[in-house]
Structure 1
Amino acid sequence: MNVWLDDVEIPGIGRIEHHVLTMPRPSTTAVVTDDDDRFLLLWRHRFITDTWGWEVPAGWADPGEESLNAIRREIEEETGWRPGKVTELTSYNALSGISTMRFSVFHATDCTQVGPPPDASESTRVEWATIAEVIKFIADGQVADGPSLTALTYYLAMRTA
C-alpha cells in the first residue's frame, strides 16, 4: 500500500491537499450458500479494531491472478470448502474518497468440504448459518466488517428484488 499527500483541484473550490491510498492488488469477497439456503461464515477476531464478528471469505488477488481464481482460492483456504459454481455479483470502490481499493463480490455455490481450513489464523470457527441468523447477525452488529456487510446485504437485497 502507498500513502501520499496529493495536490488536487476540486471544481468550484480550488486546490487542496488530499491524502491518497493506493492498493497493490484487487480484493475479493464471496457470499457462499448451499442448497438449504444457508450461508458459510467465519467467526474471527480483528486485532486492529480488537473486535470479533462474522465474516464472509475474502482476500487479495495475487499478482497476475484473476479475481475469480483468487476468490476460489480464498474460500478453500479460509473455510476448507471448495466452491463449485462461482459468479460475480458486483464490484465497488470501497473508499472512493481516499483510496483505489476495489472489491469484487462473488456468489459461490455447490461447495464440497475438502478438510479443515489449512490456515488456523483465518478464523476461530467456520459455520453454516440460516438466512434468519444472518439477518440477525447483521441487525445485532455482529457483521461489522465492511466487505462482509456489503456482500451480504447486497446479496440479500438482490435475492428479494
Structure 2
Amino acid sequence: MKRTQWKIHAEKLVDENRHIRLSTVDVELPDGVKFTQYVARMPRCAMTLVLNERHQALLMYRHRFIIDQWVWELPGGYVDHAEDVAAAAAREVEEETGWRPRSMQHLVTYQPSIGSLDQPQEIYLARGADPTDTAPDINEAEDVRWISLQEAAAMIDRGEIVGAATVVAIYRALGLDT
C-alpha cells in the first residue's frame, strides 16, 4: 500500500525557551491543499503511578491555573537533558509527594496531542514507596493521598482527574494483573 506523507514547505520559529518551542509550519496535504499549522514541541515528561500493597495510587491535589481547576494527578515533570527517564520519574515522586518509590517499571509511552504538540510522555509504575523526611513542595501539591484505583476511575468520571497522564495510567493499571 502506497503511503503519501504531508509535505512540509517551511517552518518559522515563533518563540523558544527551555519549556517550549513554538513554530508555524507551512504544510501541503496529498491532495494539494496548503495551510499553516502551529506546532509546539516540549521536553519529555516522566510521571509515576505509585501503587501500594492495597492497590491504592499515590495522587496529588493541585490547582491548574490554565484550566482554573483543582484536580488530582500523578507526580511527574520534565526530564532534564541527559537524565535517565526512570530516575527523573522517581525524583519527581520524591520532590512532589515526600515518598520514595521502591521500584520503577516502564508502563507506557504516549503523545498527548499529536496533531499540534510533540511532547513524549512516559509513565512508570512503582510498586510500593517509603516516606521520606522531606515534606511535599507546597507549590506542587496542596494534598497527597493514597486512593484506590477504583475510586480514581470514579474520580475521572466526576471530572476530578482530567490530566491525560493520570487518566492513561489509571486505566492502564486497571487492566494489569496487580
Structure-2-length-normalised TM-score: 0.83
* Residue type at the aligned position of 1:53: V
Q: What is the CA distance between 1:142 and its match in structure 2?
A: 0.6
Q: What is the CA distance between 1:155 and its match in structure 2?
A: 1.9
Q: Please identify which structure carries the higher helix content.
A: 1
Matched, 1:19 2:41: no
List runs of 5+ in structure 1 lacking aligned partners. none
2: CA distance, partners of 1:27 / 1:9: 30
In the TM superposition, 1:133-148 aligns within 5 A as 133-148=151-166
Maintained 8 Å contact 2:55/2:148: yes
Alpha-carbon distance change, 69 to 147 in structure 1, aligned in 2, over 3 angstroms:
same
Alpha-carbon distance change, 6 to 129 in structure 1, aligned in 2, over 3 angstroms:
same
Q: Percent identity?
A: 30
Residue 89 of structure 1 aligns to a residue whose secondary structure is: strand
Which shows bigger deviation, 12-21 or 28-37? 12-21
Q: What is the CA distance between 1:145 and its match in structure 2?
A: 1.5
Alpha-carbon distance change, 140 to 27 in structure 1, aligned in 2, over 3 angstroms:
same
List runs of 5+ in structure 2 lacking aligned partners. 1-19
Q: What is the CA distance between 1:132 and its match in structure 2?
A: 2.8
Let me know the Cα RMSD of the aligned residues: 1.5
Which digits, 9 at most, give the CA deviation of each residue in 1:19-68, with x for residues without a partner?
A: 11111x21111111011111111111111111011111110001211211
Q: What is the CA distance between 1:115 and its match in structure 2?
A: 2.8
- Where do 4+ consecutive residues of structure 1 move more than 2 Å? 12-15, 115-118, 157-160
Higher-Rg member (1/2): 2
Larger RCO (CA under 8 A, 6+ residues apart): 1
